[in-house]
Amino acid sequence: GARPRPRPRLPWQLHVGLTIPKQGGSPTQELHRDGDLSLISMDFDHAEHAISVLYAIDGPFTEERGATRVVPGSHVWPRERMPQPGEDLAAAMPRGSAVIYTGRTVHGAGCNSTDRPRVALNLAFNSACLKQEENQVLLTY
C-alpha cells in the first residue's frame, strides 16, 4: 500500500505557562481540543501546532480531585469526530508526574468532588509561526 507522507516539522516555542486550579466542588469541563482554540485554520490533517505538558503539582491527580480526562487516540481522528460516552479516561497520576498531549487530543478537566482544590501546571507549546499568548522573554547577561 501507499506509505503515509511524513508530517512537516515546525519549530516550537513556549506559548503559555500557567497554573490551573480546579476548585473543590467544581463541575466537569466540556471535552475539547486546544488546537481548535486558535483563530486560524491550520492544516489539521498534517502539521501539529500545539502540545501541552500538564503537571500534577499539589498532590495526586485522582478522579475524585478532577483529574484531566483524555480520549486516547483522538489525536488521529478527523476534526469533526467527538468522543462517545465512556471513551475518555482520567489521567490519574501522582504528584510530580505529567501527561503530554497534542492540540488534537480531546480532553477536559474532570469533576472535583472533594472539598480541596487540585492544581496543575500547564506548559503549552505552539508552532513558532503562531503568536504566543504570553510574551516569553529570555534575559541574557
Q: What is the CATH number of the domain that holds 36?
A: 2.60.120.620
Is the pLDDT assigned to residue 107 strictly greater than 60? Answer: yes
Adjacent-strand bridge partners of 109: 68
Q: How confident is the model at residue 111 (pLDDT cuts 50, 70, 90)?
A: very high
pLDDT at 96 over 60: yes
In a domain, 109, yes or no: yes
pLDDT at 131: 74
Q: How confident is the model at residue 127 (pLDDT cuts 50, 70, 90)?
A: confident
Instruction: Give the integer Cα–Cα distance in Å for 16 and 50.
Output: 11
Q: Is the pLDDT of residue 140 over 90?
A: no
pLDDT of 109? 97
Work out how many domains the chain is built from and give that number.
1
| pTM beyond 0.85 | no
Domain of residue 119, residue span: 13-126
Q: Is residue 136 part of a domain?
A: no
* Helix (H) and strand (E) counts in the chain: 0, 7
How many whole angstroms separate alpha carbon 30 and alpha carbon 52? 17
